Amino acid sequence: MMAERVQPISNDPASNMQRGARVALAGMMVNVVLAAAKIAAGLFGNSYVLIADGIESALDIAGSVVIWGGLKFAARPPDRTHPYGHGKAEPLAAGLVAMGVLLASVALAIQSVQEIFTPHHGPAPFTLVVLVIVIAVKEFLYRAVIRFGKNIESTAIQTDAWHHRADALTSVAAFVGISLALIGGEKWQSADDWAALFACAVIAANGWRLLFPALHEMLDTAPRGEIVAIIQQAAASVPGVLEVEKCLVRKMGISFYVDLHVGVDGGISVRDGHHIAHRVKDAIKQTDARIADVLVHVEPVL
């Protein structure tokens, strides 16, 4: 039975890295405006949860800077000291941002607990308007960025997208807390601070969830999905290949490197085996433009 022909995927890694850097830069600019608006509204509207939310957005700015720098560095071509390219900068940036998110959630939680036991004025009603605008903008950014990040399988860009979703969730918590404080009066004024504590839990959960994909990629964990099966199918379709085994794939940024063993007739010449290996390499690289290199080991089949 002949193997089904694999359709190539049009996806240029260098171009996607550059586009990803622009996406991170755009997100950073939006976060600057939103963070300033939330912190100012929190200060003038007596809402600690809004101040905490603004600080979280400010941390997102720092995260976007790290993501942007990591993607720009990862887009560099291979050189003498980095023959496999600079793709590891992408998950490294994602890991650093995730760690920053976790540390920020702890610091904000400590401050939130202190505010619960500190008497203060209730929040102003206009802070709710600010939050509605923030939630709408952040959810729109999340949907746009996560779609792009999944399309190019970028851990860093998906991490940046979840920052927007976490920010939207903390703003929802802030909206609920401020609403309770306004409706319940003096007895419910601490609802604002409890909402801030809940927001910290959401931030921590997202930081924890985002840390593991970055660590897995840095540790060369085998990629998920159909890419391994597609590679094996492409190699098996090459004339002269009798079997395919030990298909090892690792992700470097948004590029993939393949180490493959193929079995051929043990009676052919070394030159013929060499030609088969090159045809296997070409067939695999045609399946997906993100496959940067393929190392083919030729073994005799008795």
CATH code matching the domain that covers 227-301, chosen among 3.40.190.10, 3.30.70.1350, 3.30.420.40, 3.40.50.360: 3.30.70.1350
DSSP state letter for 225: S
Phi-psi region of 185 (alpha: psi -120 to 50; beta: other; left: phi over 0): left
pTM for the predicted model, two decimal places: 0.56
Evaluate whether 190 touches 106 at the Cβ level (below 8 Å): no
Per-residue DSSP letter, 1? -
What pLDDT tens digit does each residue of the chain (302 aa) get? 344 333 433 456 667 666 777 777 777 788 888 888 888 888 888 776 677 777 777 776 777 777 777 777 777 777 787 777 777 777 788 788 788 778 877 877 787 777 677 665 667 788 888 889 888 988 888 888 888 887 777 777 777 787 788 778 778 877 887 788 778 766 676 676 777 777 778 778 777 877 877 777 777 777 776 888 889 899 999 999 999 888 888 887 777 889 999 999 988 999 998 999 999 999 998 888 778 889 899 999 86
**Nearest-angstrom CA–CA distance, 302 and 267:** 9
What is the 3-state composition of the chain as percent helix, strand, coil, each rounded to the nearest 5? 65, 10, 20
Q: Where are the domains of the chain?
A: 13-218, 227-301
Q: What are the tokens at 219?
A: 């540790």
Beta bridge mates, 299: 263
Place of tokens 């610091």: 107
CA distance 97 to 62: 8
| Amino acid identity, position 106 | V
At residue 9, the pLDDT reads 38
Question: Positive or negative CA dihedral for 179, 183, 186, 191?
Answer: negative
Query: What residues form DSSP beta bridges with 243?
Result: 263
Write the class of the CATH domain 13-218: mainly alpha
